Amino acid sequence: MNDKKPTILATTLIARTRLFAVEEVHLRFSNGVEMCYERLLGSPHGAVLLVALNAADEVLLVREYAVGLHRYELGLPKGGMEAGETPELAGLRELREETGFAARRLDVLGELTLAPGYSSQRTHVVLARDLYPAPLPGDEPEPLELQPWPLTRLAELIVMPECSEARTLAAMFMAREYIIEAVSYTHLR
């Protein structure tokens, strides 16, 4: 197996909008083959996605308009990280803005990528527990509808057409496995 990454010979910004930037990347592979790829540049600070569990072990989902699909979509609270923010700080801010709750306990579960073959976007998954009311004004154009969903009914959520975002589903699986492992570890002690 070849683990030697290609050499980047040049990068050129070929398009920029208010939200997106597209970069051409000229590469040379270890076998001498040269290729040009295009990649969608994500936020330089990354993004955060929250699996917030209330006292009833329900995940707080939000229903909001998704312009890419031109429909309302059920998903986890999420947003971009700002310069200097950790995943925990960004997660707490987004949680307060989108659900009206804060969390006393935050655990970073890992990182997800979105179409890594052509996008550099990285999203940190944060598990938020021990919730309490602490709303902050958000930047959404309309109020988000909060919909708690039992983590035990994850299989039902997967087949709902209104919940199709892969990051939401993957993050919920990550949280479920993290919780199961933590419970198993506690019982073994």
Claim: this prediction has a pTM higher than 0.85 = yes
C-alpha to C-alpha distance for 39 and 133, rounded to whole angstroms: 40
pLDDT band at 66 (very low <50, low <70, confident <90, very high): very high
Question: Tens digits of per-residue pLDDT, 84-99?
Answer: 999 999 999 999 999 9
Residue 132: predicted pLDDT: 98
- Total count of residues recorded for the chain: 189
C-alpha to C-alpha distance for 160 and 59, rounded to whole angstroms: 16
Question: Tens digits of per-residue pLDDT, 5-29?
Answer: 999 999 999 999 988 899 999 999 9
